[in-house]
Amino acid sequence: MDAVDRTGLIEHLEKRRRAYVLEVREVRSDGRRAARLTVPTPMLIASFDALEFMLMAGVKINAALRLVAECAPPGSARRLWTEVVREVEGTGSFSTALGRHPRVFRSSMVGIISAYEEAGRLADGIRQLRSYVVQMDGIRREAVRGLAYPVLAGAFTMASAAVLAFFTLPRFAQMLHEIGVTRMNPVTSFFFSMSSCVNAHPMALAAAGMLAATMALSVRHPRFKPFMDRLVLQLPVARKAVEALALARICATYRASSDSGIKVVESLELCERVSGNAVYANAIRRVIAAVQANLSVGEAFDRAAVFSPEFVLAVKSGEGDLPNVFGRLAAHYAAESRHRVGGALRLLEPVLLTIVLAGVFGVGLAVVLPVVEIVNEIH
């Protein structure tokens, strides 16, 4: 079981489980394993709510974290907060403890907490972090929604083809052979030939599948990601949706980090890490270089030659109040991402529907034509 210390574990077992403890053996968790922990966003938000309430009531951070760890359900959430408690009590820094779990707390989140922690306003920092996590989770959901439909359509088509090739068509071929059918129409022959080829060379098919999976995974590799991100931005259907999602992340991160008291350049560096697209990440790097060369933020975004004219105009017009400008832009692009993702899906629907219908038509032909051949042979 995960517990902060032996005393807490014994009290938990005796009071809540009504158990008598004979011996407790402590097993230290692997640091690399702890760094790979993930926690569902709703559970993380609930923990932030509890932490903020307790800190506002005057509870110390280590005591508040202990209570959150004890109340968390068994599994990754309890393990995460247990590790955070130990690290806070060992280092004395909440932001440092969060930084050791990069899969849960991104660098932008750690930066927000670090700024508020240094200012002695940790409760406000957790409130700000909660709002930021909620906003970024909404943006992530829109990106997932845009990918779900094409992935499901492709998976359905591939599954149908696999069932036909490995189960349905071989049985029909055996039936036709047993009743002595030797002549078939070209379409039926084509389906049977494809099924025979797939069944005769399973290793080649497995190698092709592994190659396709490797190529799909390599898209996220740092070496290939810039090329794929540029390619996606060249697609008319996806360009607007990807732009809105990237700008929503950038604007939400700048607003949250700037409100935390983080300086302009450091806020832009956090924006670069969360942009989600290599083209916009490179553009943010150019913006940082221009700001460091004493250009205004609006002029730097203009010179990057990637951001939309309305975005650049809004930033230039609000140079004196950039946090609020980026806050309004974040809300705008978050709403715009919903519309653009929906528009992209509406444009893709005819193509995906055609693919699915073609698959269904192929299934129908593959099933019906052998039956027709059997009936003709009987007559």
**Number of folded domains that form the chain:** 2
**What is the torsion angle, in degrees rounded to the nearest 10, for the CA atoms of residue 112, residue 241, residue 335 and residue 325?**
50
Is the domain of 278 the same as that of 162?
yes
CA angle in degrees (0–180, nearest 5) for 98-322-119: 40
HSE toward the beta carbon, residue 176, CA cutoff 13 A = 23
Is the domain of 173 the same as that of 90?
no
Identity of residue 353: L
Is the domain of 77 the same as that of 149?
no
Q: Is 132 helix (H, G, I), strand (E, B) or coil?
A: helix
Is the domain of 83 the same as that of 227?
no
3-state helix, strand, coil in the chain (%, to 5): 80, 0, 20
Domain that residue 159 falls in: 136-379
Q: Specify if 290 maps to a domain.
A: yes
CB of 39 closer than 8 Å to CB of 77: yes
CA separation (Å) from 146 to 11, 179, 242? 48, 50, 10
Which residues, 6+ apart, have CB-to-CB distance to 81 below 8 Å?
Answer: 47, 65, 68, 69, 72
What is the per-residue pLDDT for 18? Answer: 61
Cα(284)–Cα(155) distance, integer angstroms: 36
Each residue's pLDDT expressed in tens, for the chain with a length of 379 residues: 444 455 555 555 555 556 655 555 655 555 566 667 788 889 999 999 999 999 998 888 888 988 888 888 888 888 888 888 888 888 888 999 999 888 889 888 999 999 999 888 899 999 999 999 998 998 888 888 777 777 777 777 777 777 777 887 787 777 767 766 666 667 777 777 877 887 887 787 778 778 777 766 666 666 777 888 888 888 877 888 888 889 999 999 999 999 888 999 999 999 999 988 899 999 999 999 999 999 999 999 999 989 999 999 999 998 888 999 999 999 999 888 888 777 776 766 677 677 667 766 766 666 666 666 666 666 5
Domain boundary among 105, 126, 157: 105
Is the domain of 200 the same as that of 348?
yes
Cα(253)–Cα(308) distance, integer angstroms: 18
Is the domain of 305 the same as that of 195?
yes
Is the domain of 201 the same as that of 92?
no
Q: Specify if 127 maps to a domain.
A: no
Is the domain of 283 the same as that of 332?
yes
Q: Specify if 131 maps to a domain.
A: no
Nearest CA among 125, 345, 161, 329 for reference residue 246:
329
Is the domain of 172 the same as that of 308?
yes
DSSP state, residue 294: T
Q: Specify if 122 maps to a domain.
A: no
What is the per-residue pLDDT for 360? Answer: 65
CB of 331 closer than 8 Å to CB of 133: no
Is the domain of 96 the same as that of 147?
no
Q: Specify if 110 maps to a domain.
A: no
Considering the entire predicted model, what is its pTM?
Answer: 0.74
Q: Specify if 278 maps to a domain.
A: yes
Is the domain of 282 the same as that of 148?
yes
Q: Specify if 120 maps to a domain.
A: no
Is the domain of 62 the same as that of 186?
no
CATH of the domain at 87: 1.20.81
Q: Specify if 114 maps to a domain.
A: no
What is the per-residue pLDDT for 338? Answer: 82
What is the per-residue pLDDT for 1? Answer: 44
Cα(173)–Cα(41) distance, integer angstroms: 51
The two structure tokens encoding residue 302: 């203009």
Which residues, 6+ apart, have CB-to-CB distance to 27 below 8 Å?
Answer: none
Nearest CA among 162, 164, 187, 166 for reference residue 373:
187
